Amino acid sequence: MTATDPVRLPDRAARREALLDAADRIVRRDGPAASMAAIAAEAGITKPILYRHFGDKSGLYAALADRYTGRLLEDLQAALEAGRTRRDRVARAVDAYLAAIEHEPQVYRFLVHSDEAAPAQSQVRSFTRRLSALLAVGIAAEVGGPPQRAGAWGHGMVGMVQSAGDWWLDTRGCTREELVGELTDLLFGAYGTA
Amino acid sequence: MTATDPVRLPDRAARREALLDAADRIVRRDGPAASMAAIAAEAGITKPILYRHFGDKSGLYAALADRYTGRLLEDLQAALEAGRTRRDRVARAVDAYLAAIEHEPQVYRFLVHSDEAAPAQSQVRSFTRRLSALLAVGIAAEVGGPPQRAGAWGHGMVGMVQSAGDWWLDTRGCTREELVGELTDLLFGAYGTA
DNA sequence: GCTCTAGGGTTACCGGTGGTAACACGCATC
DNA sequence: GATGCGTGTTACCACCGGTAACCCTAGAGC
């Protein structure tokens, strides 16, 4: 048993990655409506082994979300470090987010618009929540203020960009650069002084 | 046939209202996961007559949403008309929204977080979209600017309040007044000058 | 009085979903 | 060679949205 672990465990991990690859393909094709049976079929196997690997649909979704969020969070992190001014950093981060949803809209819809209402307030927090919480920490370190300020602003900013991005994906009423400009303006008080 | 119309049509309308009452009760109890069978059972009838009245699940949802949004939109309208300054109007509107979701969280989750992904971009636009579009018209009339500005700002503002409200409902990390203050500050450029 | 139609209502079903139990093969170990 | 153990399968369950077919009562017309 213990002797086979070094051989079997990598196989299991590779298998898991292959299953996630299949799930990736199906999510890109079907969006958040991807079904377990379709993913299993794409992977060339049947449902029960999917469930053995991920336990639950939300388990598979969480594992897949970890893949995606990793990349996007790296981009956002890079954007936040690249800018010279605070405004520039915000604009770059907004643009990174919009670029991601523009290039992979199905993946984005999966991340943001998946039901995930199964476990009421479980540890499988949605991508939006995690991103918002992360941003809240950054805001707290940046501008200080009472703790509820960072929370409200973090979640508010993420919701703002996400909602506007949603609308933009549907209507394509302007270029990405224009939307980035408008949202950055809004975040920096243009509405109050318009 | 024609003679019975004046008698039967009001009955039909009353029936419809009674069905919506039942749907209302179930949505308050089960949230967005309310099933057609449960609603039919609550109304004391069976599924097919629900379908005869509303055609579709999204039809029932749309009819029910019209009820709720009517009240909320009235409150928002009143808030936008009551304030003296622009900032006061925004604060009142944000507070009206948060008050609504605070008092009827299940109804709110139904309105905002229902799947409604069935018809891709059908006429049954979600409550969020309608509210955002309405706000965009108001912003366009208020501050002018290019058309994409009103769209981006309207959808962005709604998403901001909605997302922050979501977070607030879950964590209750601060009072409603505090959240209104933080969000209003954010919308009026406090982040840029903090 | 009888018939006959039009609704409202029901049962019973369809396809599809997430999820699982029970069984069958292969392969390393004692 | 028997014994597990992991891998995979088939076949099923309960539930969902949605629908077809029937049923049964009330009223119109003769």
Measuring CA to CA, which residue among B191, B75, B47 is closest to residue A87? B191
- A96 and A79 Cβ atoms separated by less than 8 Å: yes
CB spacing of B192 vs A192 below 8 angstroms: no
Find the CB nearest A160 among B156, B171, B173.
B156
pLDDT digits (tens, 9 = 90+) for A41-75: 999 999 999 999 999 898 999 899 888 888 888 89
pLDDT over 70 at A116, yes or no: no
CB spacing of A186 vs B128 below 8 angstroms: no
**CA atoms of B87 and B184, how far apart (whole Å):** 7
Q: Which residues of A173-192 are buried (b: 16+ CB within 10 A; e: fewer)?
A: ebebeebbbbbbbbbbbbbb
Interface test with A, best of B121, B191, B193 (most A CBs within 10 A): B191
| Ranges of residues in chain B whose predicted pLDDT is under 70 | 1-10, 115-125
What's CA B87's distance to the chain center, in Å?
Answer: 23
Residue A22 structure tokens: 């299949």
Question: Could you check: is the Cβ of residue B7 within 7 Å of any atom of nucleic acid strand C?
Answer: no
Residue B189 structure tokens: 């450029």
DSSP symbols for A28-65: HHHGGG--HHHHHHHTTS-HHHHHHHHSSHHHHHHHHH
Q: How confident is the model at residue A1 (pLDDT cuts 50, 70, 90)?
A: very low
Residue B141 is which amino acid? A
Question: Could you check: is the Cβ of residue B4 within 7 Å of any atom of nucleic acid strand D?
Answer: yes
Query: CA-to-C1' distance for A27 and D13, Å?
Result: 27
What's CA A81's distance to the chain center, in Å?
Answer: 19
**CA atoms of A118 and A61, how far apart (whole Å):** 12
Pairwise pLDDT comparison (A159 vs A33), residue with the higher score: A159
Give the pLDDT score at A115: 65
Residue A177 is which amino acid? E
pLDDT over 80 at A114, yes or no: no
Biggest distance spanned by C-alpha atoms of chain A: 71
**Which nucleotides of strand D are protein-proximal, with an atom < 7 A from a CB?**
5-11, 15-21, 27-28
Mean pLDDT, rounded, for A143-165: 95
Tell me the whole-structure pTM to 2 decimals. Answer: 0.86
Measuring CA to CA, which residue among B184, B187, B86 is closest to residue A187? B187
What's CA B147's distance to the chain center, in Å?
Answer: 24
pLDDT over 60 at A7, yes or no: no
Give the pLDDT score at B97: 96
**CA atoms of A92 and A76, how far apart (whole Å):** 8
pLDDT over 60 at A10, yes or no: no
Mean pLDDT, rounded, for A107-118: 73
Residue A82 is which amino acid? A
- What secondary structure letter does DSSP report for B122? -
Give the pLDDT score at B115: 65
Q: How confident is the model at residue A123 (pLDDT cuts 50, 70, 90)?
A: very low
Phi, psi of B33 (to 5 degrees): -85, 5
* Cβ contacts of B172 within 8 Å, gap of 6 or more: none
Give the pLDDT score at A2: 38
Give the pLDDT score at B8: 47
Give the chain A residue nearest B145 (alpha carbons): A194
Q: How confident is the model at residue A139 (pLDDT cuts 50, 70, 90)?
A: very high
pLDDT digits (tens, 9 = 90+) for B84-110: 999 999 999 999 999 999 999 988 888
Contacts of A194 in chain B (CB under 8 A): 142-145
pLDDT digits (tens, 9 = 90+) for B151-177: 999 999 999 999 999 999 989 999 999
Q: How much of chain A, in percent, has pLDDT values that exceed 70?
A: 89
Question: Could you check: is the Cβ of residue B122 within 7 Å of any atom of nucleic acid strand C?
Answer: no
Residue B123 is which amino acid? Q
